[in-house]
Structure 1
Amino acid sequence: MTSAPHHDGPSDPHDNTTPLLDALAEQPPDPIPLLSTLRLLSHDAAARAARLLAGQGTPRLETGPDIARFLTMHGTTHLDTAARHLGLTPPEVRHLIAAYEHGGEHGAIVYLTPCPASHEALQQARDALQRLRPSPHTALDQQDNRLTDVPARVQIRFGPDHRWYPYRNSFSAWQPAPGPDPDPATAYKSARAALRSRTLRP
């Protein structure tokens, strides 16, 4: 009678087996992405899964914020592809990356989409900003969740996390600035500081 094969124990999941994608040498046919891209996506998915298992990160990100996260972590090699996918220009994608760097997922959402803001929150913000504006006699523009001080070239946007996100107008484009804050006055000051920093830069 033949005895069953002997096993010393369960197989080791960390036995240094070469991952499938790393073992491939030939590029896949179109329209499958290049091997380098597939490997990057695979490693990114594994790292994100590990963070989720550790209780970090958001289980489901919207497409825009997730692309911003990916580019922030892995560089801008695929920036043009991301721009085409999102319907943005490459400079706008760079602004999206900055929004994510300054405010995470919510920062990216605020850059891409107007978020609901109550009349009370907007009015309180208007009152707070009025005392700080260099030209208080000019009108403060309001559109959706955005309050814009046109003469000062700064703007604040209300986010889904109830923070105000500062923006500065540079080269005729609204660009995210660091310093989101629940206090609209603080966010406004951050926007002014970012604009001054840009103006003074050699």
Structure 2
Amino acid sequence: MPEGAPVVLSVPAAEGVDPEALELLATDAAARARQLLTGEVPDLARRPDAVRYAATYPVAEAQLRPLVDGLDRAVAAWRNGGEQGLRVLETTWQPPMSHRARADDALASVAEGEVTVERNHWTMGDLQLRLGRDNRWYPYRDQSGEWWPAAPPQPDVTAALITVQA
């Protein structure tokens, strides 16, 4: 295919789907993919798309790795918790005191050793639970000094701890 030539996509028609709308969406997706792979999209906008794509299509990870710092951890976060999982990996926030009090009470009865709390992170040795803004608990495990997503999020702090301890 000559450089700069448009990519022709063959998308089978689906019952009840407007073929022109499908063609428009496929064309838009192809254009976004080109922008993603050529670096035409700013880093902030590119990162979630690149992580989602790498998590969904593992064959693309090698091509996307130079474009995204920490892609492996980000892909693990996405695979465990989707877009919110990536947000939990990359941002912190201060939960209301009521959330902290409930978590502290629950962990006091099941956590082994000291529990330290910093913003939305509850750390117990090499295990960490992060409270997402969606009120789900994201389990993490320390791997060589970096916190890695360890399992899918749980609605309950105790369930999340049990998941990551298993």
Look up the match of 2:53.
Answer: 70
1:168 lines up with 2:141 in the alignment: yes
State the identity %. Answer: 28
The 5 A counterparts of 1:39-118 are: 42-43=29-30, 45=32, 63-74=46-57, 75-76=60-61, 77-83=63-69, 92-118=70-96
CA distance in 1, matches of 2:54, 2:120: 26
Could you list the structure 1 runs, at least 4 aligned residues long, displaced by more than 3 angstroms after superposition: 61-64
CA distance in 2, matches of 1:22, 1:95: 32
User: Match for 2:117: what amino acid?
Assistant: Q
Q: Unpaired segments of 5 or more residues in structure 2?
A: 9-27, 34-43
Look up the match of 2:117.
Answer: 142
State the shift of 1:103 in Å: 0.3
Q: Unpaired segments of 5 or more residues in structure 1?
A: 1-19, 24-40, 47-60, 84-91, 194-202
> Any idea what SS the aligned residue of 1:78 has?
helix
State the shift of 1:64 in Å: 3.7
User: Match for 2:68: what amino acid?
Assistant: A
> Any idea what SS the aligned residue of 2:68 has?
helix
TM-score where L is the length of structure 2: 0.69
State the shift of 1:45 in Å: 4.4
Look up the match of 1:154.
Answer: 127
Q: How many residues align?
A: 131
Superposition RMSD in Å: 2.5
Are the counterparts in 2 of residues 148 and 154 from structure 1 also a CA contact under 8 Å?
Answer: yes
Q: Which has the larger radius of gyration?
A: 1
State the shift of 1:115 in Å: 3.1
